[in-house]
Chains A and B, each alone.
Chain A
Amino acid sequence: MRDFDLVRPASVAEAAAAFAASGDAAYLAGGHTLIPAMKARLRAPETLVDLSRLPGLTGVTRDGDRLWVGALTTHAAVAEDATVEAAIPGLSALALLIGDPQVRAKGTLGGVIANNDPAADYPAACLALDATIVTDRAEYGAGDFFQGMFATALSDGEIVTRVGFRVPTASAYAKFRHPASRYAVAAVYVARFTDGVRVAVTGAGPGAFRWTEAEAALTASFDAGAVAGLTLEDGDLSSDIHCSAEYRAHLCGVMLAQAVEGSING
């Protein structure tokens, strides 16, 4: 790993200022994507701005139909949180499927969504749970925030501060994990609201996306039979060393059925 200047700011404003002052900076949250990328010299920032000491960016609160999670809340903390479990158990289950216990002890919600890995879990939850993503300078709907592989609406130096998930009447996440990396080969989040159903897919394409045909079918009739045989066009899906697009298209159907069953059976 190339050496860098480490800055450890005590406030969001200081962090943003340190980022802006450097010609080539990166933010460090849990570090479980960035540090491996730096070791592999895929990233070599001149300045690393450590966000771990910023106050007020961890924890969970329920406010009406929104569940707010601080951007620096770790996956382990989300998985263990009683407020999350009571409001959106599907989100607790999703957090528990990220990485492994040591990764979950460090990895953060904000880090995941700012990076927007196409196989990351939280982008699917954000899309299906109609999330609002708040930063130090703006607020985004999840549909505007995620812009394809490793791309987001964030401008240079913008810091995600918290995410508000809309609380559904039922939801579940079904994930086919890559056995080595534990990222999603294909995964589906299904969320049922009083005004309709939202379905999001991750791992299968160049970025998380909503599956509108599945949403329409499930809004009409919320059972696995309503989406039996529904498939995605494999031309839009990823093909790589792990599996073909055709296989991913099949997996998405299987994960969709599992997520619907999970939403019904809790």
Chain B
Amino acid sequence: MTGLTINGIAHSADVPSATLLVEYLRDHLGLTGTHIGCETSQCGACNVLIDGVPVKACTALVATLDGAAVTTVEGLAAGETLHPMQAAFREHHALQCGFCTPGMVIAGIGIAQRHGADVTPGVIAHELEGNLCRCTGYINIVAAIAAGAKAMHDA
């Protein structure tokens, strides 16, 4: 039994040792906002925050997360109010098909945390090296993360 918090709610996970965090989120809890793109630790569609830090949920074992606080894309908004990074993605139309978006939003939050309000487009592009957008809509994603970083630090 593994005790962990997901989006502020305490859970006791009674799952086989081989259960990946992304499987637990999607198949056990129905939190399907965390996507499975490649499942080989490349694409970043499954990014979640573990204790505030972006991590690939396809490469984390639930049973090693005792005491961890996990935030998925479903846990970012406060009621009807989007997280500043989500609002920036909406404002800048930073999606085409939307499949990579949850992982991009989580990665964007990490970039804003590491580099602050004035992070440059060049740094954002470099720091998105672990996130793939198959629509290649990176220009608006970079613009959204720049705006989201500002908004997070103004908030």
| Residues on A facing B (Cβ under 8 Å) | 1-6, 8, 28, 31-32, 35-36, 38-40, 48, 50, 52, 99-103, 105-106, 180-182
Contacts A101-B110, A106-B59; is A1 near B18 (CB within 8 Å)? yes
Chain B contacts of A2 at CB under 8 A? 18
Chain A contacts of B56 at CB under 8 A? 32, 102-103, 106
CA distance A103 to B60 in the complex (A): 11
Chain A contacts of B66 at CB under 8 A? 8
CA distance A101 to B41 in the complex (A): 12
The answer to whether B40 has its CB under 8 Å from any CB of chain A is yes
Question: Interface with A: B26-34, B47-55, B86-94, which one?
Answer: B47-55
In the complex, are the beta carbons of A3 and B41 less than 8 A apart? no
CA distance A136 to B37 in the complex (A): 39
In the complex, are the beta carbons of A31 and B60 less than 8 A apart? yes
Chain A contacts of B53 at CB under 8 A? 105
Interface string of B49-73 (1 = CB under 8 A from A): 0000111100111011010000000
In the complex, are the beta carbons of A6 and B110 less than 8 A apart? no
In the complex, are the beta carbons of B107 and A101 less than 8 A apart? yes
Chain B contacts of A1 at CB under 8 A? 18, 20
For the A-B complex with A48-B61, A101-B129 known, give 18 more contacts whose Cβ atoms are closer than 8 Å: A4-B17, A6-B17, A35-B20, A35-B41, A35-B59, A35-B61, A36-B59, A39-B40, A50-B64, A101-B111, A101-B130, A102-B54, A102-B55, A102-B130, A103-B56, A105-B53, A105-B54, A106-B60
Chain A contacts of B127 at CB under 8 A? 101
> Which of A4, A6, A8, A182 lies at the interface centre, i.e. has the most chain B CB atoms within 10 A of its CB?
A6
In the complex, are the beta carbons of A32 and B41 less than 8 A apart? yes
| Residues on B facing A (Cβ under 8 Å) | 16-18, 20, 39-42, 44, 47, 53-56, 59-61, 63-64, 66, 107, 110-111, 114, 127, 129-131
CA distance A28 to B41 in the complex (A): 16
Q: How many A-B residue pairs have CB under 8 A?
A: 74
> Which of B54, B56, B60, B63 lies at the interface centre, i.e. has the most chain A CB atoms within 10 A of its CB?
B56
Chain A contacts of B129 at CB under 8 A? 100-101, 182
In the complex, are the beta carbons of A102 and B47 less than 8 A apart? yes
CA distance A126 to B108 in the complex (A): 33
CA distance A31 to B44 in the complex (A): 16
Chain B contacts of A102 at CB under 8 A? 44, 47, 54-56, 107, 110, 130
- Looking at the assembled complex, report how far the CB atom of A50 sits from the nearest CB atom of chain B, in whole angstroms: 5
CA distance A50 to B62 in the complex (A): 12
CA distance A58 to B16 in the complex (A): 29
In the complex, are the beta carbons of A100 and B17 less than 8 A apart? no
In the complex, are the beta carbons of A101 and B54 less than 8 A apart? yes
CA distance A140 to B41 in the complex (A): 32
Chain A contacts of B44 at CB under 8 A? 100, 102
Q: Please list 30 pairs of residues, one from A and one from B, whose beta carbons are closer than 8 Å in the complex, sorted by A's number.
A: A1-B18, A3-B16, A4-B17, A6-B61, A8-B66, A28-B61, A31-B59, A31-B61, A31-B64, A32-B59, A35-B41, A35-B60, A38-B18, A39-B39, A48-B17, A52-B64, A99-B130, A101-B54, A101-B111, A101-B114, A101-B127, A101-B129, A101-B130, A102-B44, A105-B53, A105-B55, A106-B59, A106-B60, A180-B42, A181-B42
In the complex, are the beta carbons of B130 and A100 less than 8 A apart? yes
- Looking at the assembled complex, report how far the CB atom of B81 sits from the nearest CB atom of chain A, in whole angstroms: 27
